[in-house]
Amino acid sequence: MIAELVALVAILYTLLSFVIQRKMANMKKVYEMQEMIKAKSKELNEMVKRGAKNEELMAKQKEVMSLASSSMMNQMKPMIIILPLFFVVYYWLLPILFPTHPMLIIDGLKLAYTAFFILIVFVFGMALSFSVLAIDKAKAKKAKQAEALAKEAQEAGR
């Protein structure tokens, strides 16, 4: 019973933090920036292969690093809320909910309820992130295909 309650708290925390992350970090902008970083990095590699001057390489590298930094800042904004929320749940809520149950026994395995909480948050969070990432990539691929079809139709109509 206690293990199920700890798992429920962990899942609720993970869902709430995921919603906060999706609302605060503009994922469309993140994906667009990642594409721009890939393109600029490819340009940089091509410049290196053709033997471009150091000044040109440094300028292009600065451009790539600026985009990467901006993307990272956009992705880290939600941590301002998510990290304090984690500390509140971990150090305040869990001890209040389970003051007399420091250890859980799950199939003969003895775990501290806090370790079990972190395990559930990690596993469920990773599964949720990978699932949504796959869905987002599929949507982006469909959008690109639709855009290409619309462009072809427009050009055929001319």
In a shared domain, residues 1 and 46:
no
In a shared domain, residues 87 and 115:
yes
Tell me if residue 106 falls in helix, strand or coil: strand
Supply the pLDDT for residue 158: 66
Report the DSSP beta bridge partners of residue 105. Answer: 110
**Amino acid in position 111:** L
Long-range contacts of 13-16 (CB under 8 A, 24+ apart): 13/85, 13/86, 13/89, 13/121, 14/120, 14/121, 14/124, 14/125, 14/128, 15/128, 16/85
In a shared domain, residues 56 and 7:
no
Question: Which residue stretches of the chain have pLDDT < 50?
Answer: none
In a shared domain, residues 68 and 84:
no
Q: What are the pLDDT digits (tens) for 64-102?
A: 888 888 888 887 888 899 999 999 999 999 889 888 777
In a shared domain, residues 7 and 48:
no
Supply the pLDDT for residue 34: 82
In a shared domain, residues 83 and 138:
yes
Strand (E) positions, 7-145?
103-106, 109-112
CA angle 68, 144, 15 (to 5 degrees): 60
Domain that holds residue 63: 26-76
In a shared domain, residues 109 and 124:
yes
Number of domains in the chain: 2
